[in-house]
Amino acid sequence: MLVAFSVAPSGTGRNDGSVHDAVAAAVRIVRESGLPNRTDAMFTTIEGEWDEVFDVVRRATEAVGEYGSRVSLVLKADIRPGYTGELDGKLERLEAELERH
């Protein structure tokens, strides 16, 4: 399964509204998990089995919770049993199709 998620604190008390330190704490947990992952400006996507992926999301969310009084979590999952390597595979198929036309 692929899970794309965005997690951020609110109620941080910071005047500039920045949450980069909290997001870095979450991304650190994702990267240390050893699961295939990719982070862009809006989401972090991780690939793995149900229990391992959601354990990482839970731990990342808990880490962000230390930076504010509330946490916002947005999550989207692509659940496709029997498939692995889809973090790259989906993009490779898209690029191949774009090159054909």
Q: pLDDT at position 26, please?
A: 97
Task: Tell me the pLDDT tens digit for each residue of 6-33.
Answer: 999 988 777 776 788 999 999 999 999 9
Task: Tell me the pLDDT tens digit for each residue of 44-65.
Answer: 999 999 999 999 999 999 999 9
CATH architecture type of domain 2-100: 2-Layer Sandwich (3.30)
pTM for this predicted structure: 0.90
SS3 state of residue 54: helix
Q: Which residues 6+ apart lie within 8 Å of 37 measured at CB?
A: 30, 31, 44, 45, 46, 47, 87
SS3 state of residue 53: helix
